[in-house]
Structure 1
Amino acid sequence: MKTYFILIREPDGRTTVPSVEETRQHQLDWKFWIDNLVEKGHWQSGNSLTLGGKVMRPTPSGLAIYEDLYRINEQEIVGGYLLIKAMDFDQAVTLMQTCPVFDADGFVEIRETM
């Protein structure tokens, strides 16, 4: 099996705050989905990310460090990552098709690790 890195991208949760019940249900959906991957031997690792962050970029005058520039267009954030195991890229795509991030207007980037 190969390992695939999944980057979870989603709307910035501070712009549209879901209700307590919506949040609870979304968390349960994630738990059920991950438990299914674990049961079938596809889960390797994963984690959510905090909302705070720093971006470091080289510039002609040296290394620049920016705070809170991890959002794209001030709307989209990288919310977390997953490492999954799959036979090939097609299977990784199939496994991700039921990911709960799509229920929250998010999307994923799938990359094979080297």
Structure 2
Amino acid sequence: MNNYIILFRERDGREGMHPEEEISRHRANWKSWFEEWSSKGRIAGGSGLTLTGRIIYENGEIVDGIYRIGREIVGGFLLLKAESLDEATAIASSCPIYEFDGYAEVREMQG
């Protein structure tokens, strides 16, 4: 098995509010998805991320806030075990991030 990191990118949740019913359904879908892949021994860790942080630049400048590309942020990450990049991609393709217009980046970890 190889190790992969899945970066979940999405709009800043403070900008596009969803009805509570949709949010509840989305959370339930994530819970089911995590349970399925955890029971198969494929999830090695991961978490959603807060909206606070700091950026440290090469010149030593430190700025409060998180890195954004337009309105997009990294909302969380997942450590995944898979046989290949194709399999890791297939697993990530089945997650609920796409329900709220997010997307995932799949990358193999070195070493």
Report the TM-score when normalising by structure 2. 0.94
What is aligned with 1:71?
A: 68
Normalized per residue, the structure richer in strand is 1
Alignment of 1:5-16 (within 5 A): 5-16=5-16
Distance change (3 Å), C-alpha of 1:69 and 1:44: closer
Moved over 3 A (4+): none
Task: Write out aligned runs for 1:9-28 (5 A).
Answer: 9-28=9-28
Contact 2:51 2:66 in 1 (8 A): no
CA distance in 2, matches of 1:29, 1:69: 27
Q: Please state how far the C-alpha of 1:69 moved relative to its aligned partner.
A: 3.9
Q: How far off its partner does 1:72 sit?
A: 1.5
Within 2, Cα distance between the matches of 1:16 and 1:54? 23
Structure 2: unaligned runs, 5 residues or longer: none
User: Which protein shows a greater Rg?
Assistant: 1
List runs of 5+ in structure 1 lacking aligned partners. none
Distance 2:53 2:20 in 1: 25
Residues matched between the structures, number: 110
Q: Does 1:90 align with 2:86?
A: yes
Residue 30 (structure 1) aligned with residue 25 (structure 2): no
